[in-house]
Amino acid sequence: MSAANPAHVAVVAYAADVHPGGTAAAEPALVHRAVTAVLGQAGIDRSDIGFTCSGSFDYLAGAPFSFVGALDSLGAWPPISESHVEMDAAWALYEAWLHLLGAEEGSGIALAYGFGKPTQGSLPDILARTLDPYYLAPLGVDADDLAALQARAAVDAGVCTEEAAGAAGAPPADGAAAVLLATEPAASRIARARGVRPAWITGLEHRIDMHSPACRDLARCASAEQAAAAAGVDKGPVHVAELHARHLHEEALLRAALGLGPETEVNPSGGPLAADPVMATGLVRIGEAARRVADGTADRAAAHAAQGPCLQHNLVAVLEAAPEGGPR
Amino acid sequence: MPTDPPGPGPLVGAHTVAFPGGYTRSTGPVIGRFLTELRDGRLVGVRAASGRVLFPPTEYDPRDGSPVTGDFPEVGPAGTVQARCWVADPRPAHPFDRPFAWATVLLDGADTALLHALDMGEGAGTDPPRSLRAGLRVRPRLRPEAERTGAITDIACLRPEVTGVRDTGRLDYTVRADAALTRYLEAQTEGRILGSRARSGAVYVPPRDVDPADGTPVTGDVELPPTGTLTTFSVNHVPDPRAPQVPFVTGYVRLDGADVDLLALVSGVDPGRVRPGMRVRAEWLPPGERSRARPSIRWFVPEEGAEEQAGEAEGR
């Protein structure tokens, strides 16, 4: 689906429940709050949701199938149409978006949510488990070490300053976020009832780089460039951009990859450096960008989510108030 | 020199045959080439007139006695185990002082095999490892270059190819119990089992805040009896920190009055006699061993067996 196609899917509600200091609340409770909030905003019922997709990472809790446990908060009986990605929930939104694009006429409300409790373990060690088990993980190198490698590469290439490269990264937070997607006529109906504008998704793409940071030019983010180009970020002005940057040097690399100039307000929400509810942080970027389009303070916004060592995998969304061609 | 111990008895003495400084044996052009290449870290065979590659090389084809050619093709380094035997109790002359194997190995590209020691690892015991079999893929381990002299023992041994890596990583978490789990564990320290009742009337145990069936908040907690029925079970043969003795039984217990099963250990019964439908009763840890950091139910035992120690439990 390229940006040239008319948009059919909009973000119509977004909520997050984030606890920077951690919380004793269990994952289902966090999800319950976020999901209940978006349903309340939209004035709809759980039974109105045609498709549900979640993003999470079982290693955060160290418990297998913790993503299944979170379903308890949804009310999944009688059985619902549901899926899960072991990724940031921005990719769950991607699957929900695909589902709506391919769905029959009139079935169009989907829920994407993500959650995590990273404060219970050591996030650098946990993320190290996602590294190549033959050549990287046995070295004991962790996500923070790799981010430091990329920071140095970014400084050497003149992409960011020493000060930015040396700044502390985002501390992980416990939390959950939920986004409701809708096609017409539900999208306009829900937005009208809320007194906001639908945030139409006019571009949504993701691309991935080679896994090993040793194989890449760390001073640029090629897959983010490709995702941004495919999503059509440069097809119009970008008023607001929410970037999934856990370090300042990542923000500099992503600004370059998305081609954002000084006219673009980057991470007005505070970004991941203010709150990093791991596995929901990317979805929060989309939710926050959509919120600005919905409330009329931006007409066109970009949102970005990342996964993997040194920004390996990048997703870029473009959200617009009134896309060219308009919704069906 | 023989020595003569004092007194009567058989006369015994040590006797050694050796050339002072060792005996020098010429290698000839073929074996010499092989050992010279080996000292340099290369494994070469020799091509026979028939086209077969002999490894280690000989000056003649052992099949028909014909002279070999001057072609020394490189072989290996990997090869395939053919014959093998297990040495559980090595002797001093053996290359290892721990159990190992002897094996004949056909290196890739060779038509004749090499006999050499095969190191199956430090963990190998007196029984031959299961992976020691014909077809096992192995490679030579050469001695470090500075130690190589041009001898077959420049190959220190053979060892199996790498087929796996061991992941010894571990992750430690500090788990914070939510309100429902805290109530559940605290009640257990008093010997009570809490569940919760959903709006639909369904009773969940452990208690929950939300009905997983419809997502609505539950109406409140209920207390459940320590008795129930085993609905299904499995017999485990891998030790667990909570059940160090194997085999042990884990099962789903439907407490009387509950609508979902509780996962629990089952004890006090031979694993072979456990059956779905069996009536069971919670056996509690002694009060002094209970902690709100973990369940105070030690395990479930057959109801009859539990009654024998009921007085003990009531004595808390």
Reported ipTM: the value is: 0.73
Chain A residues whose CB is inside 8 A of the B165 CB are 133-134, 138
Beta-ladder partners of A265: A240
Largest CA distance in chain B: 102
**Rounded-to-integer distance, Cα B219 and Cα B229, Å:** 25
A120–B174: do the CB atoms touch at under 8 Å?
A: yes
φ, ψ of residue A39 in degrees (nearest 5): -65, -40
Quickly tell me which residue has 């093998």 as its tokens.
B84
pLDDT score of B316: 34
A77–B172: do the CB atoms touch at under 8 Å?
A: no
B165–A138: do the CB atoms touch at under 8 Å?
A: yes
DSSP SS3 for A64: coil
pLDDT score of B4: 60
- At residue A180 the predicted structure's pLDDT band, cuts being 50, 70 and 90, is very high
Distances (CA, A) of B135 to A117, B14, B192, B259: 48, 45, 60, 55
Residues 6+ apart with CB under 8 A from A77: B212, B213, B214
Nearest CA in chain B to A72: B212
- Provide the 10 A C-beta neighbour count for residue A134: 9
Choose the weakest-confidence range: A57-66, A136-145, B35-44, B98-107. Answer: A136-145
B167 in reach of chain A (CB within 8 A) = yes
B176–A77: do the CB atoms touch at under 8 Å?
A: no
Chain B residues whose CB is inside 8 A of the A126 CB are 171
Residues 6+ apart with CB under 8 A from A126: A57, A59, A60, A118, B171
A32–B211: do the CB atoms touch at under 8 Å?
A: no
B212 in reach of chain A (CB within 8 A) = yes
Contact A23, A299 (CB under 8 A): no
**pLDDT string in tens for chain B (316-residue length):** 445 656 777 887 787 777 788 888 888 999 999 999 999 999 999 999 999 999 989 898 877 889 999 999 999 899 999 887 888 888 887 889 999 988 889 999 999 888 888 999 998 999 889 998 889 999 999 999 999 999 888 999 999 999 888 888 888 998 888 899 999 999 999 999 999 999 999 999 999 989 988 889 999 999 999 999 999 999 999 887 777 688 999 999 999 999 999 999 999 899 999 999 999 999 999 999 999 988 999 999 998 754 444 444 443 3
**Rounded-to-integer distance, Cα B247 and Cα B257, Å:** 30
Smallest CA–CA separation between A28 and chain B, in Å? 8
Query: Which of the residues B162, B184, B199, B210 would you substitute to probe the A interface, choosing the one with the greatest number of A C-beta atoms within 10 Å?
Result: B210
b or e along A214-238 (b: 16 or more beta carbons within 10 Å of the residue's beta carbon)? eebebbbbbbbbbbbbbbbbebeeb
- Which amino acid is present at B84? R
**Rounded-to-integer distance, Cα A301 and Cα A316, Å:** 11
Would you kindly state where each structural domain of chain A is located, as residue ranges? 10-120+171-200, 135-170+202-320
Tell me the two tokens of residue B68.
């070999």
Contact A307, A313 (CB under 8 A): yes
Quickly tell me which residue has 């931006």 as its tokens.
A298
Mean pLDDT of A30-47: 95
A253 has a pLDDT exceeding 60 = yes
**Rounded-to-integer distance, Cα B76 and Cα B73, Å:** 10
- Same fold? A10-120+171-200, A135-170+202-320: yes
A325 has a pLDDT exceeding 50 = no
pTM of the entire predicted model? 0.79
Task: State the pairing for strand pair B227-236/B114-118.
Answer: unpaired
Query: Which of A62, A74, A77 lies closest to B171 in CB terms?
Result: A62
Task: Please state which CATH class domain A10-120+171-200 belongs to.
Answer: alpha beta
The rounded percent of chain A whose pLDDT value lies above 90 is: 68
Nearest CA in chain B to A140: B169
Contact B255, B205 (CB under 8 A): yes
Mean pLDDT of A77-88: 93
Chain A residues whose CB is inside 8 A of the B212 CB are 28, 71-73, 75-77
B212–A129: do the CB atoms touch at under 8 Å?
A: no
Between residues 60 and 79 of chain A, which touch chain B (CB distance below 8 Å)?
A: 61-62, 71-77
Report the run of H or E that residue B297 belongs to, with start and end.
Answer: strand B297-302
DSSP B226-280: SEEEEEEEEEE-S-BTTB-SSSEEEEEEEETT-SS-EEEEE-SS-GGG--TT-EE
Quick: pLDDT tens for A216-252: 889 999 999 999 999 999 999 999 999 999 999 999 9
* Mean pLDDT score of chain A: 91
Would you kindly state where each structural domain of chain B is located, as residue ranges? 28-160, 179-310
Length of chain A: 328
Quickly tell me which residue has 């004035």 as its tokens.
A43
Q: Residue A83 burial by CB count (10 A; 0-12/13-18/19+): exposed, middle or buried?
A: middle
Assigned fold of A135-170+202-320: Peroxisomal Thiolase; Chain A, domain 1 (3.40.47)
Smallest CA–CA separation between B211 and chain A, in Å? 7
Smallest CA–CA separation between A268 and chain B, in Å? 32
